[in-house]
Structure 1
């Protein structure tokens, strides 16, 4: 996922179903703890956990970029196909576009979760 030492990572949407091993790996890679929304820090990366029943994805993405540094990225983590809370990729693409973001990469990040990298369009 490309995390680097010194990056500030804001985590949104955490719940008991999130993958704690992934969270620990990110903290190990960056050398810092994941921060919460409203911490007052500008984030290099936003880690947004999202399930279909969580509400309006567009609103969540707009909120996710409020404390994001220029050039920062949002990693949207959604349950994989067949898992509770699965989010259709077309819904992710539509919500990202409406929020002013572009989808770039989707990867398998854990056994249960996929990650979609979202960035602000260049130009």
Structure 2
């Protein structure tokens, strides 16, 4: 299995497919450039930055211990998110500088109106998938 197949597997793990609008937040010198390239290859374009005013399908949030208040950040990132969109919070793995405990992500998701649904291992980073709970449309 080559690098292209590995990249496709990572994109599938993340639920990211061609044509999706993906916004990237929290980029810094320590982010995984290979992972970024995989996502951009999967969607067929560059990821959008924090200045976009487009509705996005996915938010990729690189988050480290010390980056601030995760609840506040999550409340901000869901603003441009499509109703069926989702957020990946990517944090350094256990033992790495900036590691964030998964329980902190789960606890921060709830007040922001999100629910954690899955987690993935992405090399030096761990990913937590957060979604907006499905609410039945109100009939009048």
CA displacement, residues 5-61 of structure 1 (integer Å, 9 cap, x when unaligned) = 100000000000000000010000000100012211111000000001101000111
**Could you tell me which residue of structure 1 aligns to residue 121 of structure 2?**
108
**Could you tell me which residue of structure 2 aligns to residue 83 of structure 1?**
96
Alignment counterpart, residue 44 of structure 2, candidates 31, 43, 53: 31
Distance across 1 between alignment mates of 2:30 and 2:51:
23
Question: Residues 24-63 of structure 1 correspond to what in structure 2 (within 5 A)?
Answer: 24-63=37-76
**Aligned residue pairs, count:** 122
Structure 1 gaps, min length 5? none
TM-score normalised to structure 2 length: 0.85
**Could you tell me which residue of structure 1 aligns to residue 132 of structure 2?**
120
Structure 2 gaps, min length 5? 1-13, 136-140
TM-score normalised to structure 1 length: 0.96
CA displacement, residues 73-107 of structure 1 (integer Å, 9 cap, x when unaligned) = 00000111100011111111110011000000011
Distance across 2 between alignment mates of 1:73 and 1:100:
12
Runs of 4 or more above 4 Å deviation: none
